[in-house]
């Protein structure tokens, strides 16, 4: 066992042991504890848990890698996800918390006085969550396959077992306090190498301040290699797609069921607002560091491999080659690595390896590499657990309890929820072993689906008392079916057709589906009977900052 493998194993055993210990300590026996942690989580802890839930493997593993390869254009992920969180925290979360429901489908079912609307919302939540969780489990497999040299499938299975233990035992309570621990692990793991590399490259230990110097160096290097200036816009992605992907990530964030449900665990509406504040603060630590991490990794990578004899490359190159995520094809047979834009390029690198490989590329010690791997796993597993809870609660609370067995006891509902989570883990594992794209791409698909289905129904449900059940049902169905169809047709690793709608990529189609959903919802609502008067009055009152109430469900 190498030094890196030993440190990786040590940190994985320690952190996984911590997560399992928290799960045993926080196990629950009530549906309120399982779904919303008894609505008693302090705002600071809830902010940490929300940050960990939201900063998935895409944020930790994939975002900096995409920025590293796309340069300025990669900032769409940074801007979209951060802007979306602000949108969610300020515009939607307090009102949803005031509504007092456990799940997004429950909110939609009661707000739109319709069991059908609730089922449609539950099915949308399950589809979105499965797409999203595929990216998380793929990230888990990548980390295990590289640093413990086990098959990617085995790595995914280990991750599945860990998530199953604390999600099934503790429900939302176990997940919440596990996510607090996971946030601390992932933020320490992200910050340590960022500070060390910033100090090495520039003499400045603050990554955010060191970024400018390295980015300006990269501009010249990238031009010499034929890639275009690192800081120039629209060199890798068209302006239209930059705008649409950013909008998709923003509105998708505000419509993601596993993030929204976190605000229901707060003690009060005021607590939900403070949760939003603390979560944004904790998120900012990683998100302001990501561009610097991306630039450092890009700079060190090019300096290490470009123009160098393949035989003299460091060991990490061959280690990543063994995973299939980095390949060298000596086109001209000279044994020298040609890394350039265009057909002469001999080195192909999967963006998902950049953050995990960053400490190795920079020559940092084995313990730093080990903690980075543990951080990546924490990011992936924290989000996976939240998503799996959405899957479990959507089926047990919104479908089973509501329609299949309305007389089910609390104990029976809890059993169904736990079985649903276990089945969800099995499907998630399969998708993690056979992902439909890079981690960041797959997650972007989920955001597009959320933007096209939930965002219009939630926004209009809060701010337009005239929107009715017919409009909401039609809008959700049109939005998610259109968006899912376009993604399946044009995603490179699914059917791979050329984008046929103004060149819009699969990652950017969400806002188009969202616009269709808004339009259909509005038109159908105006063409059909208005909601009951008492419900319209409740919607009118829910936007006031003080006072809470309970919506009445209508069959």
Three-state SS for 2-64 is CHHHHHHHHHHHHHHHHHHHHHHHCCCCCHHHHHHHHHCCCHHHHHHHHHHHHCCHHHHHHHH
For residue 421, the number of C-alpha atoms closer than 13 Å in the C-beta half-sphere is: 30
Q: Which residue has the tokens 């030993």?
A: 6
Q: What is the pLDDT of residues 469-517, one digit of tens each?
A: 999 999 999 999 999 999 999 988 788 788 989 999 999 999 999 999 9
Residue 512 CA neighbour count, 13 Å, CB half: 20
pTM: 0.82
Domains with residue ranges and CATH for the chain: 3-301+359-542 (1.20.1730.10)
Three-class DSSP labels, 97-136: HHHCCCCHHHHHHHHCCCHHHHHHHHHHHHHHHHHHHHHH
Beta bridge partners of 326: 349
pLDDT < 50 regions, the chain: 37-38, 547-555
Residue 171 sits at φ, ψ, to 5 deg, of 55, -145
Q: Distance between CA 156 and CA 297 in Å, rounded?
A: 26
Cα distance between residue 451 and residue 373, in whole Å: 31
> DSSP assignment of 58-92, as one string?
IIIIIIHHHHHHHGGGGHHHHHHHHHHHHHIIIII
Task: Assess contact for 339 and 345: CB atoms under 8 A.
Answer: yes
CA distances to 222, 268, 396, 476 from 518, rounded to whole Å, are 42, 30, 29, 9
The span from the CA of 215 to the CA of 230, in Å, is 7
Cα–Cα distance between 179 and 240 in angstroms, integer?
A: 36
Query: Which token pair is 462?
Result: 């809060």
Structure tokens at 271: 């607590």
Give dist(CA 20, CA 478) in Å, integer.
41
pLDDT at 322: 82
User: Could you read off the pLDDT of 98-154 as tens digits, one per residue?
Assistant: 776 656 788 888 899 998 998 899 888 888 888 888 778 878 887 777 777 777 788
Residue-level pLDDT at 538: 84
**End-to-end Cα spacing for the chain:** 62
Q: Is residue 389 within 8 Å of 421, Cβ to Cβ? A: yes
Q: Identify the three-state secondary structure at position 239.
A: helix
Instruction: Write out the DSSP string of 496-541.
Output: -PPP-STT--GGG-HHHHHHHHHHHHHHHHHHSPPPPHHHHHHHHH
The HSE-up count of residue 298 (CA atoms within 13 Å, CB side) is 32
Structure confidence at residue 471 (pLDDT): 96
Residue in 527, 63, 479, 509 with CA at minimum distance from that of residue 292: 63
Other C-beta atoms within 10 Å of 59: how many?
A: 28
């Amino acid at each position: 066992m190498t030094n890196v493998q030993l440190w990786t194993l040590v940190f994985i055993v320690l952190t996984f042991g911590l997560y399992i210990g928290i799960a045993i300590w926080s196990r629950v026996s009530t549906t309120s504890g399982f779904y919303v942690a008894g609505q008693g989580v302090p705002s600071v802890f809830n902010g940490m848990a929300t940050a960990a839930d939201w900063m998935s493997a895409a944020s930790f593993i994939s975002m900096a890698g995409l920025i590293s390869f796309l340069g300025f254009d990669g900032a769409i992920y940074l801007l979209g996800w951060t802007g979306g969180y602000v949108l969610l925290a300020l515009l939607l979360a307090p009102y949803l918390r005031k509504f007092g429901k456990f799940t997004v489908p429950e909110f939609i079912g009661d707000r739109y006085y319709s069991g059908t609307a609730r089922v449609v919302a539950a099915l949308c939540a399950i589809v979105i969550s499965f797409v999203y969780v595929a990216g998380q489990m793929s990230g888990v497999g990548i980390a295990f396959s590289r640093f413990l040299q086990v098959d990617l499938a085995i790595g995914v299975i280990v991750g599945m077992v860990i998530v199953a233990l604390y999600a099934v035992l503790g429900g939302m309570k176990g997940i919440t306090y596990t996510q607090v621990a996971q946030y601390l692990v992932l933020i320490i793991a992200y910050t340590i190498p960022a500070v060390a590399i910033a100090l090495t490259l520039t003499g400045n230990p603050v990554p955010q301040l060191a970024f400018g110097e390295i980015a300006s160096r990269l501009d010249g290097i990238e031009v010499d290699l034929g890639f275009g200036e690192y800081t120039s816009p629209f060199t890798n992605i068209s302006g239209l797609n930059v705008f649409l992907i950013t909008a998709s990530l923003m509105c998708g964030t505000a419509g993601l069921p596993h993030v929204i449900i976190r605000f229901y665990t707060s003690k009060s509406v005021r607590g939900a607002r403070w949760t939003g504040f603390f979560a944004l603060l904790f998120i900012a630590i990683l998100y302001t560091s990501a561009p610097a991490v991306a630039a450092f990794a890009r700079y060190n990578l090019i300096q290490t491999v470009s123009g160098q004899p393949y035989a003299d490359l460091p060991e990490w190159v061959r280690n990543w080659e063994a995973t299939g995520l980095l390949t060298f094809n000596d086109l001209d047979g000279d044994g020298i690595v040609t890394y350039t834009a265009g057909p002469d390029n001999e080195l192909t690198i999967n963006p998902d390896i950049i953050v995990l490989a960053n400490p190795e590329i920079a020559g940092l010690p084995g313990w730093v590499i080990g903690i980075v791997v543990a951080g990546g796993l924490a990011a992936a597993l924290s989000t996976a657990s939240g998503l799996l809870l959405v899957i479990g609660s959507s089926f047990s609370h919104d479908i089973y309890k509501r329609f299949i067995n309305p007389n089910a006891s609390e104990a029976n509902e809890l059993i169904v929820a736990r079985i649903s989570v276990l089945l969800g883990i099995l499907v998630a594992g399969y998708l993690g072993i056979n992902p439909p794209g890079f981690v960041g791409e797959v997650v972007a698909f989920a955001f597009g689906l959320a933007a096209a289905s939930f965002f219009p129904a939630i926004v209009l449900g809060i701010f337009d008392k005239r929107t009715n059940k017919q409009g909401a049902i039609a809008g959700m169905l049109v939005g998610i079916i259109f968006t899912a169809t376009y993604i399946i047709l044009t995603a490179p690793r699914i059917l791979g057709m050329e984008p046929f709608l103004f060149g819009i990529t699969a990652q950017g189609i969400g806002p188009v589906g969202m616009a269709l959903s808004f339009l259909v919802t509005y038109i159908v609502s105006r063409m059909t009977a208005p909601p009951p008067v008492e419900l319209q009055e409740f919607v009118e009152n829910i936007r006031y900052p003080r006072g809470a109430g309970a919506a009445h469900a209508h069959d």
